[in-house]
Amino acid sequence: MIPATICVVLVCIGFLFFIGGAAGIIRFPDFYTRMHAAGKGDTMSVFLILMGLATYQLADFSLANILVAGKILFITIFIMWASPTSTHALIKAGFEEGQKLWTPDVEKEDSGE
């Protein structure tokens, strides 16, 4: 009973981080802040969701479930390494292509004031 509750809590918190990252992608004004929201939200949400699934697998302690939980752990480690690296590469590519930083003056220029 308790491991199932922990799993549900971890998965729900992971979904909250995912929704927060999606809201950041929609609401933030420029490329760099949107990538920051996407990178942080995606990494943390996937980490929490996969930890919840690994915990659920360990509720029934058998060799098969331990191996599945181990695979989930390796996937989590890979995502924790790859997601920030790919976010950094995308931000660097945007910088090299000349993506402009957001400033309050940019909004006034774009609106025609």
Q: Residue 112: phi, psi to the nearest 5?
A: 90, 15
pLDDT tens-digit series, residues 54-109: 988 888 888 988 999 899 999 999 998 998 898 889 889 888 888 777 777 755 55
Query: What's the average model confidence in pLDDT over 34-59?
Result: 89
Spatial contact of 53 and 7, defined as CB atoms under 8 Å apart: yes
Global model pTM greater than 0.85: no
- What integer pLDDT is reported at residue 62 of this predicted model? 87
Pick the more confident residue, 106 or 41.
41
Query: What's the average model confidence in pLDDT over 9-19?
Result: 93
- What integer pLDDT is reported at residue 47 of this predicted model? 93
CB-based contacts of 59, cutoff 8 Å, min separation 6: 3, 4, 7, 65
Q: Residue 88: phi, psi to the nearest 5?
A: -60, -45
